[in-house]
Amino acid sequence: MPQNGGPSTARGTGGQEPLPFLLPGSQVGRYRIERRLGIGAMSEVYLATDDSLGRRAAIKVLSSKLVNNPTITERFLREARALARLSHPNLIPVFEDGQIGTPPRPYYAMELLEGGDTQKLLEERGPLPSPVVAAVGAQAATGLGEAARAGIIHRDVKPANLGISRHGVLKVADFGLAKSYAADKSLTARGMVVGTADYIAPEQARGEGLDERADVYSLGCTLFHLLTGHPPYRAPQGPSVKEYLEVMRMHLTAPVPDVRAEMPATDPDLAEAIAAMMVKDRSARPTFDEIARRLARIAARLDGELPRVTRQLFMVPSGSGAGSSSLKEVPLSKVRAWTRIAALAVIVAAAIALALVLGR
């Protein structure tokens, strides 16, 4: 065990989840660790407190499995740098970054989103009404537009990456796949498919060069999901890789679905705005500024706003290293399973894209 509550060196075995790298009470920069909130394929996230300011934060640390991978390490650092460069009410801010442990593992401290995210909101309340979705879309488009002006493409816009502050302000989060227009092209080579299949733009599925219009498409898919309770394209049940590839094919070739066919009560102007965002031809999609203005007008007309915190997400007593949280840690077995699925899908995605191109 570490001295003075520092990083733990113990690891799980036999497919069990690893022990937390940072133990309760350990110090990371100016932050005191309270508990681990979750683990993912690339990182672990911890609840922490800056005792000097009395402010809680989320600490994101690169996974131990990836610390010796220079490409992944660079992508992690790029996320921190991307967020640190941006200052906007609808983008999650980074307070501090650095390295900890041996070998050094990069980390950064960011705003703790105590309102959860729109995926959790959807799971709790079911399909969201037009006023709320219009407000979500307007704020997300504003934040993503600011990122685009700084030359940053998110590339993984989805409900889980649209966080909500305790004051009911939307924050675009998780820029782990973000790419600067001037970034080192070796990190994500042309022809590599990166992103979540349910929200992926056609040009992204083909492995083409991307700009902010890919994020416009993904945001349209996200708003469709929030209105209906499911992504716009759903494949018949089957092997996971087959479903993944079928959904990508539908993004490439299937007609844009009309949300009103499933949810007739959807505001017509909102439905039209979402359909415009999801057109296959990226040159015909609206800009983020156009989307933000249009959706803000709809939200104002419908008196739409995001909900504030309706429940306590982080039940950790002040000054204590123990507690409970409504956020569950992601089982490592699920992380590994989806990582394998994504890897297999990437291998064959290029072949599908090539077949579609040759078949034109």
Cβ neighbours of residue 342 closer than 8 Å, sequence gap 6 or more: 244
Choosing from 97, 156, 198, 215, the catalytic residue is: 156
Continuous H helices in the chain: 70-85, 118-125, 130-149, 202-205, 212-228, 240-253, 259-262, 268-277, 288-302, 332-358
What DSSP designation does 331 have? P
CA distance 271 to 258: 7
CA distance 275 to 267: 12
DSSP conformation letters of 292-305 = HHHHHHHHHHHT--
Residue 247 tokens, joined: 């959904």
Q: Which of 245, 220, 251, 226 is nearest to 350 (CA)?
A: 245
CA distance 113 to 325: 13
Classify 336 in phi/psi space as left (phi over 0), alpha (psi -120 to 50) or beta. alpha
Q: Active-site residue 156, yes or no? A: yes
Residue 15 tokens, joined: 């497919």
Which residue numbers are catalytic? 156
